[in-house]
Amino acid sequence: MLPFTRPTLDKEEFEAIKEVLESGWLATGPKVAAFESALADYIGGDVQLRVFNSGTSALEAVLLAYGIGPGDEVIVPAMSFVASANVIVRCGATPKFVDVDLVSRNIDAAAVAAAITPNTRAVIPVHFAGCAVDMDAIYQLAEQHDLLVLEDAAQAIGTEYKGRQIGSSGNPVCFSFHPNKNMTTIEGGALAINDPVLLKKIEGIRFHGIERDQQGAMDVSAWGGKMNMPDVGAALGLVQLKKLDGFNRKRRTLVERYLQQLPKHDALVLPADVEGHSWHMFCVLLDWAKIGLDRNQTLEVFKQQSITVGIHYPAMHLFSFYRQYGYKPGDFPNAERIGEQTLTLPLFPGMEEKDVDHVCSVILSLLKGSYK
C-alpha cells in the first residue's frame, strides 16, 4: 500500500538515537543545544532557535509570552490544521478566521486588513503545504496596526521567500518536525526569533518558568509549562537536517512529474507551483459532481489501487467547537470548497517516479469517468 507520506529514516538516524540512549542523557541536553545551533545556521538571518516538544507548543508559547489573552482577537486562515486556531483559544483569545486563495490556500494582506478590529492583537499566516505566504504586505499592515506577526511554518521547513529561508525574518516563526513533515524529530517543533525580550519570556514558558543565576540558584518568577524537546529527538533532527535539502529536491522532482502528467481540467484544481516551495504536501481539488463520484467512493477507488490519500484539511470554522463563535457555512467559500474537495496525493522522498505514474493514472481515469 502506497502511503500518502512516510518519514525517510536509515542507519544513520538509528545510530544517532542509539548513541543518545547509551549516553544515559535522554532529556534536554547537549544534543538539543547542538540542534538549535545547527537550525540557526541553516535558517540564517541572525535569528536564535529554540526547540520544543511540538510546533503547537511553540505557537502557544509565543502567544502567551506576547500577552495574548481574553478580549484579544487573532487573525488566522480558515484553511489550516486545527492547531493554528486551537492555540489561540488555549490562550483565552478569540480566533478571527479569514478566507484563503483557492490555489495557494494561503491568506493575503487584503483578507487580513478586512478582518482587523480594535481588538486585533496578532495575525498567524500559515505557509500551507510549504508554499510561502506573500509576507511583505502583511508585515507592512502589521506595522501600521501594531500587530504581532506569528508565522505558522509547521509545513515549511526549507521553504524560501524571495530567496531567503522562511524563519530568517526575525519575527516569530514556528516549525513542526512531526513524522509527516519534510524532516522529523519524531515529535517536535522549533521557534526562530531575534527579539531577546520575547525570547526570555518564551524560554521560561517552555520549561516551568525556571530561571538560574550564574551560581546555578533557581528562581521561578512567572508561570511556565513543560514544552522542551528531549535529546533523543534532537539527535534525530541533527541527522535529518543534514539531509533536508536533498529530501526537498526529491520532493520537487516528484512534484514536477505530477505536474507534467496531470492535465488542465475543469474538474481538477492543482496546487500553486511557486519559487521556493518545499512541497510538504501535494493537494489537489476534485469536483465530485463533475467526475460522478463522491469523496468516499473516490477514496475507495484509490484503496483498490493500493494507494492511500489524505484529506488536508476540513475548513476549521465548520468544526462544531468553532461554530460557538458564530461561524457558519458560506462564511469562507474557498476554505469550504477546499475542505469539501481536497485530496492529498502521496509525496515523500522514498517514492519512485513509477509511484507518481500510478497515482496519475488513477486521477486520469477518474477524470475520464472510467470508475463510474
pLDDT single digits (tens) 324-336: 999 999 999 999 9
The secondary structure element, H or E, covering residue 340 is helix 333-341
What are the tens digits of pLDDT across the range 169-184? 999 999 999 999 999 9
Measure the CA–CA gap between 234 and 186, rounded to whole angstroms. Answer: 9
Give whole-number Cα distances, 47 to 41, 157, 170, 275, in Å.
9, 15, 6, 23
Q: 322 and 200 in one domain?
A: no
- Checking if the pLDDT of 151 tops 90, the result is yes
For residue 295, give Cα distances in angstroms to 1, 291, 319, 367. 19, 10, 19, 14
What whole-number percentage of the chain has pLDDT above 90? 96
Please give the Cα distance from 16 to 71 (Å, whole number): 46
Please report the pLDDT score of residue 330 as a whole number. 98
Average pLDDT over all residues of the chain: 97
The verdict on 193 and 256 lying in the same domain is no
**257 pLDDT more than 80:** yes
3-class secondary structure per residue, 109-148: HHHHHHHCCCCEEEECCECHHHCCCCCHHHHHHHHHHCCE
What is the model's pTM? 0.97
- Asked, for residue 6, whether it belongs to a domain, the answer is no
181 noted as active-site residue: yes
Q: Give me 63's grid cell.
A: 502567544
Q: Verify that 93 and 223 share a domain, yes or no.
A: yes
Closest CA relative to residue 272, chosen from 76, 108, 124: 108
- State yes or no: pLDDT of 310 exceeds 90: yes
Work out the pLDDT band at 287, boundaries 50, 70, 90: very high
Distance, CA of 10 to CA of 14 (rounded, Å): 7
Domain boundary among 217, 238, 259: 238
As beta bridge partners, residue 151 has 173
Distance, in Å, from the CA atom of 206 to the CA atom of 57, rounded to the nearest integer, reads 8
Is residue 294 scored above 80 in pLDDT?
yes
CA distances from 362 to 228, 249, 279, 307, 345 (A): 43, 25, 21, 9, 11
Amino acid letter, residue 106: N
Domain boundary among 191, 208, 238: 238
Identify the pLDDT of residue 188.
98
On whether the CB atoms of residues 47 and 40 are closer than 8 A, the answer is yes
Query: Which bin fits 247, alpha (ψ -120 to 50), beta or left (φ > 0)?
Result: alpha
- The crossing angle, in degrees rounded to 10, of helices 353-368 and 295-304 is 140
Structural domain boundaries, residue 224: 11-238
Residue 236 falls in which region: left (phi positive, over 0), alpha (psi -120 to 50) or beta: alpha
Does 23 share its domain with 119? yes
Report the percent of the chain where pLDDT is more than 70. Answer: 100
Residue 360 lies in a domain: yes
Phi and psi dihedrals of 141, rounded to 5? Answer: -65, -40
State residue 49's pLDDT score: 98
Are 250 and 267 in a shared domain?
A: yes
Using CA atoms, how far apart are residues 58 and 162, in angstroms rounded to an integer?
25
Among the options 181, 200, 226, 290, which is catalytic?
Answer: 181
Alpha helices, H only, 116-270: 136-145, 196-206, 231-261
Q: What is the CATH number of the domain that holds 315?
A: 3.90.1150.10
Label residue 372 by pLDDT band (50, 70, 90): low
60-93 core/surface letters (b: 16 or more CB in 10 A; e: else): bbbbbbbebeeebbbbbbbbbbebbbbbbeebeb
Residue 280 shares a structural domain with residue 223: no
**Are the CB atoms for 331 and 95 separated by under 8 Å?**
no
Helices 11-23, 231-261: axis angle to 10 degrees equals 170
Say whether pLDDT at 352 is over 70: yes
At residue 280, what is the residue type?
A: H
One domain, residues 170 and 304: no
Last residue of a domain, one of 218, 238, 258: 238
Distance CA 140, CA 127 (A): 18
Question: How, if at all, do strands 120-123 and 73-77 pair?
Answer: parallel
Domain count, the chain: 2
Provide the pLDDT for residue 371.
81
Q: What is the 3-state secondary structure (H, E, C) of 57-99?
A: HHHHHHHHHHCCCCCCEEEEECCCCCHHHHHHHHCCCEEEEEC
